[in-house]
Amino acid sequence: MTGRWLLPFFLAALPLAAQTSTQWVLEQSTLSYHMSHPMHEVDGISHAAKGKGTCHAGQCDFLIGVPVKTFDSGDTNRDLHMLESTRGAQFPMVVVRTQFPESATSSPTVYADLEVQFAGQTAHFQHVPFQRIAQGSEVRITGTVPVTCSDFKIDRPSFLTVPIKNEIPVRVDMTWHSN
């Protein structure tokens, strides 16, 4: 069942200061999907995300990628089932893009519109709230992306013939560093 898989993701990075041109690099991250099954509550975790962002002329573009196979739920069998269910061999990357005005990043809560490519599908998540904590030249972003299996046309993985719940929220905890 790994179905588990899942997914993936996420994102959003939001810098602080309104500079003319700022480059952001994802320093460290923890992305985890949560899967619910009548007999299980499972989290799959990845620390392998990479991301970059540029802010120029008041506009920010951020891109985050993470290999699907790097999510570890604590069981090989489950993770392979997840990889299969999410078509992770054919579409090995979860890719998240977001754009927002630089001025929107000064508040403790940043709302981002996300474009997520996963399992060969593209889904958009509007107005997703992320908490922003500035720490020197670094910014920590935390939040949850309300991902569902149906967003990406994923057949819900099953265990003991019972499928998991459709909701597989993805928890994001990322630290960005500006150059």
Partner 1 sequence: MKLDAATIAVCGLICSLCSPQVNAQSLTLSGSVTAAATAQPIDQATVTATRSDNAATVSAETGADGKYVLQDMAPGIYTVTVKADHFAAKNANIGLSAESHTLDISLNELPNAPSAPSMEDLGFSAQQTQANPQLQTTLARRTEMLKIHQRLGLITTIPMAAAVITGPMAKAKGKNGETIKEPTQANLDFHAALGGATTALYFSTAYFAIAAPRVAGTQKHGAIRWHEALAFIHGPGMVLTPVLGYMAYKQENAGEKVHGIASAHGTVAYITSASYGAAIVAVSWPIHWKFWEKQ
The answer to whether 44 contacts partner 1 (rule: CB under 8 A) is no
Minimum Å gap between C-beta 27 and partner 1 is 13
Minimum Å gap between C-beta 40 and partner 1 is 5
Minimum Å gap between C-beta 101 and partner 1 is 14
Q: How many residues bind partner 1 (CB under 8 A)?
A: 45
The answer to whether 135 contacts partner 1 (rule: CB under 8 A) is no
The answer to whether 54 contacts partner 1 (rule: CB under 8 A) is yes
What values do phi and psi take at 24, rounded to 5?
A: -120, 140
Angstrom distances, CA of residue 92 to CA of 27, 70, 118, 134, 157: 22, 10, 8, 32, 18
Angstrom distances, CA of residue 120 to CA of 48, 90, 92, 123, 171: 20, 8, 9, 10, 21
Judged by beta carbon, residue 59 or residue 109, the one nearer partner 1 is: 59
The answer to whether 17 contacts partner 1 (rule: CB under 8 A) is no
> Footprint of partner 1 on residues 71-110 (CB under 8 A)?
73-78, 80-81, 83-85, 87-93, 95, 99
For CA atoms 34, 174, 99, 143, the dihedral sign is positive
Selected from 33, 100, 130, 159, the binder of partner 1 by CB under 8 A is 159
The C-alpha angle with vertex 119 and arms to 13 and 114, in degrees rounded to 5, equals 25
The C-alpha angle with vertex 17 and arms to 14 and 18, in degrees rounded to 5, equals 105
Q: Among all chains, which residue has been given the structure tokens 């670094």?
A: 138
Footprint on this chain of partner 1 (rule: CB under 8 A): 20-21, 23, 36-41, 50-54, 56-57, 61-63, 65, 67, 73-78, 80-81, 83-85, 87-93, 95, 99, 158-161
